[in-house]
Amino acid sequence: TAVQAADGQYKIAPDELLQAAEYLHRGQLVVFPTETVYGIGALVDQPAALREIFTVKGRPQDNPLILHVDSYAMLQRYVQPLNAEEKLLVDNFMPGPVTFILRRNQQVNDIITAGLDTVGIRMPGNIIARNLITACGAGIAAPSANISGKPSPTESKAVIDDFWQKVACIIDGGDSAFGVESTILDLSRKPYHILRPGAVSAAQFNAVLQANGYAAEVVEQHDYYLPNLKAADVPKAPGMKYRHYAPEAEVKILRGSPAEMAKNLITLVSGKKATDATAKIAVFVSRDLYAALPGAVQKQIDFPYFFEDYACNLKQLPHEELVESGFSSLDKKAFQAANGLFQALRQADRDQAALILVEAVENMGIAQAYMNRLTKAETK
């Protein structure tokens, strides 16, 4: 376990960190916190452990893992040399909530890349994650620490639900700062595509490129997230073709103006109660939306979870320049919604809700990542 110090940072005792590194060196799995979501890790040169990740997660073999590094020097051990433009982006956004798709070299096991000639590399901002990698002296391959298809884990409780006694150890680093997985930026071809939206947006990458005399070449690849993507299609980020983030509860999105969302909510609640009067109903909404509902409707909601109760604790991140430059126009509502989404979806299952109604947030910045995950969680 890590403990929270007075400055709000989680810290882990040096001997516990060494113990976790030792497990990894022995070919065992370790769950560790990052500022996005928790990861379930195996050491880069441990093929049996790498395979074990796929087994315990129930993860399809063709879905590659992200390789986590502690430094630019370590990144260079696994990829083809970067040109000046690629290096500029990497320098500006590492460490942070970004995964770069780069051309790999022969040091990277095929199990990690699922046979692709590229590898996803991320340097976490979370200090426990980075110290763990440093203690190992090599990269840690890690997908999100959830059973495939379930909401990603943004608190240790979620990891315990999925992997208790299935891994050598779980490092508890408190709530994740962002709560949605990293932005995936593909630098292996031009224009550079964002394969998965996250906390860092195309506009932030492009601002850095333009400030340094390059063209704004980062584009969104929205089609990857269309629900009608067929399993046979081969998307650039293979993970995108699978159904994700689905709790047991039915998930419905509330869209439109506040008045439209409230109206929609009332219709869905009364519809559900009409078919099953005992069905428990949860909502994940802003306090404003809830306050606008008639008292009789509020009474029918068994579990109200509120955006405002989820703090996006960016202070947990040591890399303050990134936070200050990249997230100065921080939209509090969107960050809180993104921060709480996976926890709310998992809580709905613990509370045995039959239905969870979730408020849409305008599709910009981190809200785009939020809507991407929410759309994939929605019951079609």
Residue 184 binds ligand TXA, judged by CB under 6 A: yes
Would you give the distance in Å from CA 279 to the centre of its chain? 30
236 binds, among Mg ion, ligand TXA, none (CB under 5 to 8 A by kind): ligand TXA
Q: How far is the CB of 111 from ligand TXA (least distance, A)?
A: 12
Q: Please, which residue, 28 or 144, has the CB nearer to Mg ion?
A: 144
Using CB under 6 A as the binding rule, the residues of this chain from 64 to 83 that contact ligand TXA are 64-66
CB within 8 A of 13, min separation 6: which ones? none
Residue 375 binds Mg ion, judged by CB under 5 A: no
Q: For ligand TXA, how many residues bind (rule: CB under 6 A)?
A: 29
What's the rounded Cα separation, in Å, for the pair 39 and 32?
6
The CB-side HSE value for 252 (13 A sphere, CA atoms) comes to: 19
Candidate segments 59-67, 164-172, 353-361, 367-375, binder of ligand TXA by CB under 6 A? 59-67
Residue 49 binds ligand TXA, judged by CB under 6 A: no
**Binds ligand TXA (CB under 6 A): choice among 95, 96, 120, 153:** 120
In the complex, which residue's CB is closest to Mg ion?
144
What's the rounded Cα separation, in Å, for the pair 324 and 198?
17
DSSP helix/strand/coil, 375: helix
What's the rounded Cα separation, in Å, for the pair 23 and 169?
8
Q: How far is the CB of 116 from Mg ion (least distance, A)?
A: 17
Residue 122 binds ligand TXA, judged by CB under 6 A: yes
Neighbours of 49 (CB within 10 A): 23
Using CB under 5 A as the binding rule, the residues of this chain from 139 to 158 that contact Mg ion are 144
Take residue 50 and report the two structure tokens written for it.
Answer: 């790498």
- Residue 364 DSSP code: S
Task: Please calculate the CA angle 163-123-7 and round it to the nearest 5 degrees.
Answer: 80
Task: Please calculate the CA angle 331-316-367 and round it to the nearest 5 degrees.
Answer: 25
**Binds ligand TXA (CB under 6 A): choice among 139, 143, 151, 174:** 143
Residue 236 binds ligand TXA, judged by CB under 6 A: yes
Residues near Mg ion, by CB under 5 A: 144
Residues of this chain that bind ligand TXA (CB under 6 A) = 34, 36-37, 39, 63-66, 99, 101, 113, 116, 118-120, 122, 142-144, 181-182, 184, 195-196, 236-240
